[in-house]
């Protein structure tokens, strides 16, 4: 997945900027690294979840992490828990 400039989007940075009121909305392209494949143009929308939904999602994330003996939860996972990410055809 690349942005209009052909760069990989930094999803952690995007989720931080989406915390402000409103949402983050951008066009991305789904590409294949090898072979002939016409890139698919997609719309990426990131919106913050309501606080009560975030609280529940964080509890589930910690529960699942502890259940599988994965003690460390990555920063991208915690950032994603706070956001609603939607990808649609553009």
Does 88 have pLDDT greater than 90? yes
As given in the structure block, the two tokens for residue 82 are 């706070």
Q: What secondary structure does DSSP assign to 35-53, as a single string?
A: S--PPEEEEEEEEEPPHHH
**Mean pLDDT for the stretch of residues 16-36:** 78
Give pLDDT, residue 70: 61
Task: Report how many domains make up the chain.
Answer: 1
Give pLDDT, residue 21: 66
Give pLDDT, residue 42: 93
pTM over 0.75: no
Containing structural domain, residue 52:
2-89
Closest C-alpha to 89, from 49, 47, 39, 50: 39
Give pLDDT, residue 68: 65
Does 34 have pLDDT greater than 90? no
pLDDT in tens, 60-73: 888 887 776 666 78
């Amino acid at each position: 997945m690349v942005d209009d400039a052909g760069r990989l989007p930094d999803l952690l940075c995007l989720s931080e900027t989406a915390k402000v009121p409103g949402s983050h909305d951008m066009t991305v392209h789904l590409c294949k690294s090898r072979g002939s494949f016409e890139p698919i143009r997609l719309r990426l929308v990131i919106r913050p979840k309501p606080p009560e939904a975030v609280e529940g999602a964080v509890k589930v994330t910690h529960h699942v992490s502890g259940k599988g003996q994965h003690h460390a939860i990555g920063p991208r996972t915690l950032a994603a828990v706070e956001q609603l990410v939607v990808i649609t055809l553009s």
